[in-house]
Structure 1
């Protein structure tokens, strides 16, 4: 008789013992070292062995912004478009990044004849510094040079 009274209690106790689901993690993949806002601090162009320092340029600044799939860059004068050195350049598109290989698929640029082209680069990271090196070659525009750009990640 005591056993028959314990049987319903045991059934209730057993039913309330459910296995806890495995801990779910909402781990997101580590952010790519490419993502973020980068300020250009140095740029050189090498054409047929001749090296020209293109940046820094007094009274100008340039940023490159990358998310997981797209890049954009803007370069402008700091005098708000006034004066003889007024300039503005902007472009962007999608990119691929694997290991140290970075390819820009340029979809937008104020120099429209550059649009629709791919540019391959090798990148290297040193702390908060990104060094991008590669060839820009467009036969129809007689462009064939190597660029080396150094960026510092902005906080």
Structure 2
């Protein structure tokens, strides 16, 4: 009788166990995820357009994961120029359709920190085009930017 009880208990215990799925479903990665190289940029202020692409001796990349972004600009001479260049910033972003918003939490230009910017983005194969207004009244900044990036593999 004791063996029957023990056997029944074991069978019920085993039957009550559920096996965890072997594969977990993941949300699709954001099309932004990865590293992007800036290839051209423009700033439009009061109808005047200025090409602001980094000079040939500088480069800029922007890196995205699922929730955060970071950007880095530096000179290609390892800082061994009269005016070494390095700038960086990072924060969080949201992407809903083509509406992209950044919260810039950290930046070497400290007066830009803790600001929100709204843009639209367009994807064309390995190219990202980001357009929007950067406006900071206290810094007298009010311009539209158009940045074009190519995704690095």
- Which interval holds the TM-score relative to the shorter structure? 0.7 to 0.9
What does residue 150 of structure 1 align with? 148
What does residue 32 of structure 2 align with? 34
Q: Structure 1 residues 23 and 39, CA, compared in 2 at 3 Å: closer, same or farther? A: same
What does residue 79 of structure 1 align with? 77
User: Structure 1, residues 40-60: CA drift from partner, whole Å, max 9, x if none?
Assistant: 000000000000001041200
What does residue 57 of structure 2 align with? 59
Question: TM-score, length-normalised on structure 2?
Answer: 0.84
What does residue 126 of structure 1 align with? 124
Structure number with bigger Rg: 1
Question: TM-score, length-normalised on structure 1?
Answer: 0.83
Secondary structure, in 3 states, of the residue corresponding to 2:118?
Answer: strand
Gaps of 5+ in 2: 1-10
Distance between the aligned counterparts of 2:92 and 2:57, measured in 1? Answer: 29
User: Structure 1, residues 77-128: CA drift from partner, whole Å, max 9, x if none?
Assistant: 0001111242111000011111001111000010000001000000000000
What does residue 105 of structure 1 align with? 103
What does residue 88 of structure 1 align with? 86
CA root-mean-square deviation: 1.8
Aligned residues between the structures = 138
Secondary structure, in 3 states, of the residue corresponding to 1:55?
Answer: coil
Gaps of 5+ in 1: 1-14
Q: Structure 1 residues 26 and 43, CA, compared in 2 at 3 Å: closer, same or farther? A: same
8 Å contact kept, 2:54–2:60? no
